[in-house]
Structures are given as C-alpha cells and as structure tokens.
Amino acid sequence: MYLMFLYLTLTLLNIFNVCTGDCGCQLNRNAKCTNEEQPHDKYSQALNDDDKNLKERADFDQTHMSLIEGATFEMGTDKPVFESDHEGPIRNITVSSFYLDKYEVSNKQFSKFIEETGYITEAEKFGDSFIFEMLVPESEREQYKDFRAVQAPWWIKMKGVTWKHPEGEGSTIDDRLDHPVIHVSWNDAQKYCNFVGKRLPTEAEWEMSCRAGLKQKLYPWGNKLNPKDQHWANIWQGDFPLTNTAEDGYLSTAPVDSFPPNKFGLHNMAGNVWEWTQDNWLNDPDAKVKKGGSYLCHESYCWRYRCAARSFNTKDSSAGNLGFRCAGDVKA
C-alpha cells in the first residue's frame, strides 16, 4: 500500500544552500562539525574495551540464514557511477560457500545481545551519533545547528543518540523491534557477530550475495528500479534532502523482512540501512567498507543502492542509516 497521504514537505532551516558536496555517505567520528570544540581530542581517547563478558561460540544458529554456494562472479562494474568509490573495473572473484543472514540484524536481536553481555556500544561511550536532520524533532533542531557535518549539513552529531534511543533521549525502539539496529559502529557489529558465532561478510561475499546469480545487473532483482510498478527497496523518493514522499512506505527504516527477497532469499540488500563488511577501505585499517545504500539514498544524489556501489566509514563511527548482517563459515 502506498502511503501517498504521507507526502511530506519539510522546509528545513536554510542550511541547504551552503551544501552541494557529498551525501555524507562517509561520515566519520572525526569529521569536523561546525563550531564543535576539539573533536579530535574528544574522540582520540582509548576506548574502554570491556570484552570480559563476550564469549565466542563455536556454532551458530542457521535459522534465517541462506547458504550461499561458492562461485566465481564478476565483481564491480565498468560503468562506475562514483569513480572515486573505486566501483570498477569488473573482475572475476571466487568465493567459497558460506552462510549469510537473510535480514539485517534487528533491534530485537541486538537487545538480546546487550542483555546477555552488558556490552556498551561506541555511540554510548562517545555520547553521540550522527542522525539525519529530518528525524530530529523540530523543536530540537535549533540547538544542534552548530553540530552539523560540514560536507553534509543534513547530518547532525546529536547527544544521547544510541541504538536504543535512535532520535535521542525520549525516543525508543519499542515500536520498531523488527527494524534494523542502527547507530552501531563496525567494532560493535564485529562484537555482535562474534558473540553469535558468526562474523561480518567480506565485501566480495556481500556483493556476490547481492547479485544472487544475476550477471552485471544494477540491483539485487535486475536493472529496473521499480519492476511491476512496485517498490523493491527502501530508498528515498522525492528531492533529496528536502522532500521525502515515502512512496515506498518508509521515511526512515523499515522492518528487516519488508520488500521482496532476492533469489538467494536475502531481504534489503539494497536500501533500508547500509551494511558493514569486514574489508578495509583502500588499505586503511581504520576505515571499513559498507554496502547497499540506505533509506536516504536517491538516484540524483547518492545512487548507491546498486550491488557494485560501495562506501566507507571509520570503524568507530555510527549513524542512523548504517547497520549490518552477519555471515557464517561452512564447516568442513
């Protein structure tokens, strides 16, 4: 059902005229925010790495996972949309069999992990996370006007934003336990996957799974964005970043099992939330590759809900459009 009545025109603060740069796909904790005091000092403190409650498991639950058969596939594209993202060239990559979660990790699953381990996420330690301005209650936007990412002022680094309070103090996940967990860093994602006996997928595993046996198609289902006049992913409809018509039903995250799965049974590989992978970005061990785009992506601006698309964040960063799913090894 289309929520056409949900047509929202949000006239935001006049900040958008200053900004024509990047989509903020590459937010990082040290990104300089306007007028923020010494962000580097704040974020260079050693993390309190309290792992004592985390145990690694030998086996993992294969429920809600797809077995992805080992294969050679053509990774990347020869028609890169973002040259600087190194989307190309096409090359043959061989991947061994492995398991991949059918869904992004949900708030419910992450809650269970926190309950069992007492783990504290990085956003909780740092005291803030990046949130898309439109999702900040209007009454609170003004006080955050000096905490915007310079390159992408629609991102606000907001205090008190965590996986449990995705829009800050007062907000909860109770009404969206089946939505993907957000505001989790690569380090957090890694901890979660290890705890359940899994690991993050490599970029190649992720991309092969996104393509689901289709050769050089743009999306997990083919080349057309809306076959049969349906929405196949949670992305942005309207004019980024001012107007999101939410024609696909969602302004923000959607339940992890929404939209049709691809041929490998995987949901929301494109859109909904970006997903962390194991890989370093251009050999930088502090920056990790993320795949799939998010509910904030629009073709005009951040056309990254394609299987070949890629981006990155520093591994301690978190944001309201970035989550993950886990992979598992096939035992010999």
Ligand X SMILES: *[C@@H]1O[C@H](CO)[C@@H](O)[C@H](O)[C@H]1NC(C)=O
Side-chain-facing half-sphere of 245: CA atoms under 13 Å: 9
Amino acid letter, 136: V
Quote the least distance from Cβ 75 to ligand X, whole Å. 9
Q: Cα angle vertex 125, ends 24, 116, to 5°? A: 110
Phi then psi for residue 186, to 5 deg, are -60, -40
Which is closer to ligand X, CB of 74 or CB of 178?
74
Closest contact distance (angstroms) between CB of 213 and ligand X is: 14
Helix (H) / strand (E) element for 113: namely helix 107-117
Nearer to ligand X, 22 or 74 (CB): 74
For ligand X, the closer CB: 61 or 69: 69
147 touches 33 (CB < 8 A): yes
Residue 142 or residue 175: which is nearer to Ca ion going by CB? 175
If the CB atoms of residues 74 and 257 are measured against ligand X, the closer one turns out to be: 74
17 binds, among ligand X, Ca ion, none (CB under 5 to 8 A by kind): none
Least distance from C-beta 261 to Ca ion, angstroms? 12
91 burial type by CB count under 10 A (0-12 exposed, 13-18 middle, 19+ buried):
exposed
Q: Which is nearer to ligand X, 74 or 247 (CB)?
A: 74
91 binds, among ligand X, Ca ion, none (CB under 5 to 8 A by kind): ligand X
* Minimum distance, C-beta of residue 215 to ligand X, in the bound complex (Å): 10
Judged by beta carbon distances under 5 to 8 A according to partner kind, the member of ligand X, Ca ion, none in contact with residue 90 is: ligand X
Token look-up 């957000």 returns 182
Q: In whole angstroms, how close is the CB of 89 to ligand X at the nearest point?
A: 7
Query: Which residues touch 160 (CB under 8 Å, ≥6 apart)?
Result: 127, 128, 168, 169
- With CB under 5 to 8 Å by kind, the binding choice for 314 among ligand X, Ca ion, none is none
Of 175, 148, 191, give the one whose Cα is nearest residue 253: 175
Phi/psi for 320 (5° steps) reads -80, 0
Residues in contact with Ca ion by CB under 5 A are: 234, 248, 250, 268, 272, 292, 295
CA angle 57, 61, 64 (to 5 degrees): 145
Of 113, 99, 315, the C-alpha closest to 195 is 113
Residue 292 binding partner per list Ca ion, ligand X, none, with a CB distance cut-off of 5 to 8 Å that depends on partner kind: Ca ion
Which region holds residue 297: left if phi is over 0, alpha if psi is between -120 and 50, else beta? beta
> Residue 73 Cβ, how far from ligand X at the closest point, in Å?
9
Residues that bind ligand X in the complex, under the rule CB under 6 A? 74, 90-92
Residue 268 contact partner, candidates Ca ion, ligand X, none, CB within 5 to 8 A by sort of partner:
Ca ion
Look at residue 272 and give the partner it binds from Ca ion, ligand X, none, a contact being a CB closer than 5 to 8 Å depending on partner kind: Ca ion
Closer by beta carbon to ligand X, 70 or else 227 = 70
Q: How far is the CB of 216 from ligand X (least distance, A)?
A: 10
